[in-house]
Amino acid sequence: MSDRILIDGDNLSLEDVERVATDPETQVAFAEGVEARMQRSRDVVERALAEGATVYGVTTGFGRLAETPIPADRLEELQINLIRSHACGFGPPLSRAETRAMMLLRANVLAKGFSGIRPGVVQRLLDMLNRGVHPVIPEQGSVGASGDLAPLSHLALVLVGEGEAEVGGEVLPGAEAMRRAGLEPVRLQAKEGLALNNGTQFMAGIGALLLRGAERVVEAADIAGAMSLEGLMGTPDAFHPAIMRARPHPGQAASAQRLRDLLADSEIRESHRHGDPRVQDAYSIRCMPQVHGAARNALAYVRQVLECEANSATDNPLIFPDEGENGLVISGGNFHGQPVAQVLDLLAIALADLASISERRTERLVNPDLSGDLPAFLTRDPGVCSGFMIAQITAAALVSENKVLCHPASVDSIPTGANKEDHVSMGGHGAIKARRVLRNTEAVLAIELLCAAQALEFRKPLRPGRGVERAYDKFRERIGHLDADRALAPDIEAAAALVREGALVDL
């Protein structure tokens, strides 16, 4: 794998975003021809200035102040004041990975050449990324209308030598952070502050990382579900290809195939193929392809939108050098976050449902009224030992918290900017709460894996399906079985890390 990613504004993948976000050693550079393309749009801005044209945010104020002309000798002051005044976020800072994702996406969309910013300014942003200068960006304060104004302004502050940044684990004033990295702050010229803080890269950057995590979660859900089926001595008959062909949703078919592969050659299944009085399993077992598959379908749509957004020009006004004789500068609304806000809500809903069905399988594993011949709460000494009794309660608590968090942010709006921005997306809220839903769902699946692996102990010497056995062996490399009661919080965290890393299966 190359140690460098080239950006051109058109071809950045979500895998690239995750790689740069999580691996500071990965370097980012412009693809061939990008700087020339960016310069052409900058030339349009320079011509407009020379001709004395009225251009929103370049020779005028912003928002409700768009009718206020700005004298030529104050145009640079206008841009730096835009960044300073808009850097009014609140709350805990983004993680390093989220900040890096946001920086990469901002550089990539500017590389499209529709923003009128000098190539050197964006190169300096890439230099910050490559040298580990990470702006401190509070997670609250964006309504996702004129883009993520406050978060992006905190990012841009460090670029001009202000604000704060983390370098090597230490938070420093922006100027000092740049000095330590051997970088000079930039001096913004006309249009450039607006090019830096208009856009959706806060919600899209977090969303890209959440989507990759969610894709690992849905894979883990199939594994945990198959392991639970074996522990409960269920049947895979409901996953038959004929049933899937009769309702050919792609995600449903994919999960069914995955479950069949995980359960292939199961000795546990053969042990009760004949003479079992049960006709069919409960929905949480039988309907895994339908429920897990619905999540797969939802995440496929989320991916489609986020991949498009990662390569979209989202500031305002946009500059089109090839339109007309002298290029076109036109105001629009590409900064509005509604497309991203809606899919972040969908992502949270899909994850919450995976957690919900997982918790029901956990309940069946631990509840002696539902678990068949498994011991109560999966302990060899019920009564003296509580086993996994409270682990199921933790899962239930997290599932219920997800229900609260899944109220869609994208249906809310509140007027801002003196009612100029009279409809907003709340995509930033959607990103932050979806992040919590993801973490909760990872933990719920971790609890199911703990219980399902424990249930398999009681099925020995019978062996589960090949895929289940492989996942079980990987699981046991990190987490031992429960002989007697112990604090389970570390086990839950360790199992959640396996889910988060995708360690039980290669995606």
Three-state SS sequence of 285-351: HHCHHHHHHHHHHHHHHHHHHHHHHHCCCCCCCEEECCCCCCCEEECCCCCCCHHHHHHHHHHHHHH
Our measurement of the distance from residue 12's CA atom to the centroid of its chain's CA atoms, rounded to an integer in Å, reads 15
CA distance 85 to 417: 13
* Residue 173: Cβ within 10 Å count: 14
Terminal alpha carbon distance of the chain: 17
Please say whether the beta carbons of 429 and 207 come within 8 A.
no
Angle between helices 250-263 and 466-478 (to 10 degrees): 80
Which structure tokens are listed for 234?
């269920």
- Residue given tokens 């740049």 in the structure block: 178
CA distance 494 to 471: 15
- Taking the CA atoms of residue 65, residue 67, residue 70 and residue 72 in that order, the dihedral angle to the nearest 10 degrees is 150
Our measurement of the distance from residue 444's CA atom to the centroid of its chain's CA atoms, rounded to an integer in Å, reads 18
Please say whether the beta carbons of 38 and 109 come within 8 A.
no
301: annotated active-site residue: no
Contacts of residue 440, Cβ cutoff 8 Å, sequence gap at least 6: 355, 398, 399, 401, 402, 405
Question: Count of residues for the chain?
Answer: 507
DSSP state of 31: P
Please say whether the beta carbons of 340 and 204 come within 8 A.
yes
Stretch (H or E) spanning 140: strand 138-140
Please say whether the beta carbons of 119 and 57 come within 8 A.
no
Type of residue numbered 2: S
Stretch (H or E) spanning 170: strand 170-173
* Residue 246: Cβ within 10 Å count: 8
Type of residue numbered 283: Y
CA distance 87 to 79: 13
Catalytic residue set: 56
